[in-house]
């Protein structure tokens, strides 16, 4: 199961339990459909934003994006996502 590759043990256990049918929803169909729509909208929507930044920073990002073969907007979005997920953080520069 390739989808289990990214799950920790607890998540795998919950997923297996769900797939076996151990969990039963107590929502009626209309409430369930309403919540499914909320989830769909919250996961699939992208928002457009405008930011101001130094021109030299934008140029550097554009160069790095070109080196990676992706649009600079996608690189910026990826960096924001990684920061939000804790994969990037503000850190003090280490001086040699």
* pLDDT, tens only, 35-93: 787 777 777 677 888 999 999 999 999 999 999 988 999 999 999 988 988 888 887 66
3 state SS of 25: coil
For 67, the domain range is 55-84
User: Mean of the pLDDT values across residues 12-26?
Assistant: 85
On whether residue 28 sits in a domain, the answer given is no
Its pTM stands at 0.50
Report if residue 77 sits inside a domain: yes
Q: Is 50 helix (H, G, I), strand (E, B) or coil?
A: coil
Residue 26 included in any domain? no
Q: Is residue 23 in some structural domain? A: no
Q: What is the Cα–Cα distance from 30 to 34, expressed in whole angstroms?
A: 6
The structural domain count of the chain equals 1
Q: Are the C-beta atoms of 71 and 58 separated by less than 8 Å?
A: no
What is the number of other CB atoms lying within 10 angstroms of the CB of residue 20? 8
Tokens of 60: 């550097």
In a domain, 95, yes or no: no
């Amino acid at each position: 199961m390739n989808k289990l590759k990214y799950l920790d043990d607890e998540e795998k256990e919950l997923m297996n339990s769900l797939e076996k049918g151990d969990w039963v929803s107590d929502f009626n169909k209309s409430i369930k459909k309403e919540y499914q729509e909320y989830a769909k909208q919250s996961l699939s929507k992208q928002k457009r934003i405008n930011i101001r930044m130094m021109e030299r920073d934008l140029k550097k990002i554009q160069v790095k994006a070109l080196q990676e073969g992706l649009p600079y907007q996608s690189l910026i979005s990826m960096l924001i996502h990684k920061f939000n997920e804790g994969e990037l953080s503000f850190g003090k520069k280490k001086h040699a």
